[in-house]
Structure formats: C-alpha cells, structure tokens
C-alpha cells in the first residue's frame, strides 16, 4: 500500500463521491478520536449487497461522499476519553453506528428501529479503509482468535440472516431465496439446529446450487422451479420483489415469509388467497447490539465457517463488480492492512478458535 507522505501517519480510504460513481482512493491524516469514539486499525471489511445499493443511490438515508463498509474487523488503536474499549481490543463494526437511546423504539428494546439511528457506510463512514472511527458503544468485542477476514461476513450477512432465521420461529423446513452471503452462513446455523433447508437461486446458477448442497441444503434449484415440498417458512435475501408472492405460494398455512434485504424491487400484485390461512409477511431491519452478542455465540457454537473471496482494499471496485455480476460464492472481503494483504490468511483457518 502506498503512502505519499511518510512523515505524517496516514490512512487510505476508498470514497464514493456520488451515486453511480466509481470509488476514489484518498490518503489523509489519521483522525483523532473524541468522546466515546475509538480509532480502529481495519484488518478486513466484508462487501455487502447494501454497498451496491449505496453505489446505485438506492438507500434513502445515505449521504455522499461516503466511505462504504459495515462488516469490519479490526483492532482498537486509540480511544477517546469516554470510550468503553481499550487499545488492543479486537472488535467488529456492524451496520448500526449509533442510536438516540430516547425514541419510542430505543426505549422499547427495538433499537434496530431507532428513528435517529446512524449507519456505517450509509450516513457515517465505514470500513473500506485502513482506519476508521466508530462509537465504542456500538462495536462488538470479538474473540481474539477469530481470523479477521473469516469473521467479517458475520457482522452483517450473518447478523441479518440470524435475525431473519429467528423470525421464522420453530420452522423446520425453510426455503431460502437468493443464495449469497447471508444464506451460506445461516444455512450452517439452521442445519446445526436440525432444520431442513431448500435453496432457490437465480435460474441456471448451478454454482450457487452446488454450493448450497455442499453446505447441507436438502434441495437446491432455480427460483423458477416449483418448491419440491410445502415450506414452514421462507427467507428472501435476493432483492427481487417477484419472489414475495412466489414464496407466499410455497409456504404452508400459518407460515412466514421474511424479507432480509434493505432494498427490493416492487412486489407484483397477487391474489389474497396467497396470504390467507394466517400466512405472514414481514421484513427484517438492521440489528440490535444484543443480536450481535447472541449471534457471535451462536456462530461459535455452530462452528459457522464463512466462504470468502479476498481482494486488496484498493480493488474494492472489482469486488463490487463481481458481487453485482454474481461471480462470487460466499462473501467478498477486502483486506485492509498490509499484513493481511501479504499473508492473505483469510483463505485458511477456522473461524472460531
């Protein structure tokens, strides 16, 4: 990684100046942290489909220029006077950057719905960078043995998948629509819990179908194929609204369809009979800090192993392009420090020590 001025400690960050722009590499001095902030040396940052929505201008609350990235693993380098974390602590930085603590949702244990929340890589800078600032109260303390690149997908894909799976209640037979980052992690947890997974991919995407079967899916096929059996629940991770009536038609009476994406194309009209029979349709929004704690434990118990494809930080645009084109199985991960780029340790090792 190049540093134009060796005199001052510098950081490199990849900046999205406006919707539909390419990323711009920017060197700047390391920021100071104040209050409850910590300065984090980023080891790795996962690439999420939401980053594509940021690039496409599809996130209504996003502001630009913005550094994307909300699946960050790094180490606390410096701490503000009121920070809750010590330098040297291994942390994860998720989507939720801060909440107000005061609105009806915060007071009701639903901080994921906070009316005044901020989000990393959306309206606060994220982890497509060698360093970033984060509010220590919203960082997730990670096991020091977790390998950085391996752990990044847990921080959004895993967490949203986890929240979606929990909303499916005790469902035994679950259809997953869109088999990418979230699906590949949560399939492992669902299998660990003894559930049956049926994976629906883009029609003809035999790579994703093989991948789903390798992870223990009982069946995998295209989203244009009929479900081979009635489902107790459906989790939709693909941003395709036409999957909603489709999934409602695949579930039993009393079952749920849960939409895990932050953005989806319009849902076509469908006959009421598809919702009848106490079928439920709901979305999953953001995460709470408790979700982070609960999921990291569940992931460790289930031995979830992320499948990752790594890129140097400066090739973040390539990672976004590959994700958009469906060329990645599992999760794309940016290696953000020189050490990680040299060793590329994300390609080996178990996620939990």
The answer, yes or no, to whether the previous bond of 65 is cis (omega within 30 of 0) is yes
Q: Which of 23, 48, 217, 299 binds Zn ion (CB under 5 A)?
A: 48
Cβ closest to Zn ion, residue 64 vs residue 276: 64
* Binding piece for Zn ion, criterion CB under 5 A, among 45-53, 245-253, 303-311, 342-350: 45-53
CA distance 150 to 296: 13
The rounded Cα 31 to chain-centroid distance in angstroms is 26
DSSP letter string, 9-31: -EEEEEEE-STTPPEEEEEEEPP
Cβ closest to Zn ion, residue 105 vs residue 270: 105
Looking at the DSSP bridge assignments, the partners of residue 29 are 10
Q: Does 50 bind Zn ion (CB under 5 A)?
A: yes
Cβ closest to Zn ion, residue 106 vs residue 197: 106
Min dist CB 115 to Zn ion, Å, is 6
Q: Does 59 bind Zn ion (CB under 5 A)?
A: no
Q: Does 134 bind Zn ion (CB under 5 A)?
A: no
| Backbone φ/ψ region at 278: left (φ over 0), alpha (ψ -120 to 50), beta | left
Min dist CB 49 to Zn ion, Å, is 7
CA distance 25 to 293: 33
Q: How many residues sit close enough to Zn ion to count as binding (CB under 5 A)?
A: 8
Cβ closest to Zn ion, residue 186 vs residue 220: 186
Binding mask 81-120 for Zn ion (x = CB under 5 A): ------------------xx--x--x-------x------
Q: Maximum distance among all alpha carbons in the chain?
A: 68
Binding mask 246-265 for Zn ion (x = CB under 5 A): --------------------
Min dist CB 157 to Zn ion, Å, is 6
* Binding piece for Zn ion, criterion CB under 5 A, among 4-12, 46-54, 187-195, 202-210: 46-54
Could you give phi then psi for residue 122, rounded to 5 degrees? -135, -65
Contact positions with Zn ion (CB under 5 A) in 280-299:
none
Q: Which residues contact 342 (CB under 8 A, 6 or more apart)?
A: none
Min dist CB 275 to Zn ion, Å, is 28
Q: Does 156 bind Zn ion (CB under 5 A)?
A: yes
Q: What is the dihedral of CA 202, 207, 212, 217, to 10 degrees?
A: 90
CA distance 210 to 219: 10
Min dist CB 243 to Zn ion, Å, is 19
CB atoms within 10 A of CB 230: 13
Cβ closest to Zn ion, residue 100 vs residue 285: 100
Q: Are 73 and 94 in contact (CB under 8 A)?
A: no
Residue ranges binding Zn ion (CB under 5 A): 48, 50, 99-100, 103, 106, 114, 156
């Amino acid at each position: 990684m190049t540093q134009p001025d060796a005199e001052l400690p510098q950081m490199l960050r990849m900046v999205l100046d406006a919707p539909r722009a390419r990323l711009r590499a920017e060197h700047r001095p390391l920021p100071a942290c104040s209050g409850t902030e910590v300065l984090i040396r980023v080891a790795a940052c996962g690439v999420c489909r939401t980053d594509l929505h940021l690039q496409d201008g599809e996130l209504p609350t996003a502001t630009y220029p913005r550094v994307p990235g909300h699946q960050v693993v790094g180490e606390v380098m410096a701490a503000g006077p009121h920070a809750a974390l010590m330098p040297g602590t291994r942390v994860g930085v998720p989507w939720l950057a801060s909440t107000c603590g005061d609105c009806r949702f915060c007071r009701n244990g639903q901080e994921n719905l906070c009316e005044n929340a901020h989000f990393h890589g959306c309206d606060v800078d994220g982890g497509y960078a060698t360093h970033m600032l984060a509010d220590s109260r919203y960082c997730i303390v990670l096991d020091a043995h977790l390998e950085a690149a391996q752990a990044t997908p847990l921080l959004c894909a895993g967490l949203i998948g986890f929240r979606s799976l929990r909303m499916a209640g005790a469902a035994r037979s679950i259809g997953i629509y869109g088999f990418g980052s979230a699906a590949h992690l949560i399939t492992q947890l669902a299998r660990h819990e003894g559930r049956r997974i049926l994976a629906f991919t883009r029609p003809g995407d035999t790579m994703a179908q093989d991948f789903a079967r390798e992870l223990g899916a009982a069946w995998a096929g295209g989203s244009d194929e009929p479900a081979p059996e009635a489902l107790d629940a459906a989790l939709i991770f693909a941003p395709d609204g036409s999957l909603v009536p489709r999934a409602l038609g695949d579930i039993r009476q009393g079952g749920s369809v849960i939409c895990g994406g932050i953005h989806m194309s319009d849902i076509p009209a469908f006959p009421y009979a598809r919702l009848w029979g106490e079928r439920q349709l709901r979305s999953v929004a953001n995460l709470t800090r408790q979700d982070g704690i609960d999921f990291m434990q569940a992931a460790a118990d289930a031995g979830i192993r992320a499948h990752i494809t790594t890129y140097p930080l400066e090739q973040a645009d390539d990672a976004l392009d590959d994700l958009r084109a469906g060329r990645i199985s599992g999760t794309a991960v940016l290696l953000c420090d020189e050490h990680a780029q040299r060793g590329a340790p994300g390609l080996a090792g178990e996620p939990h020590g």
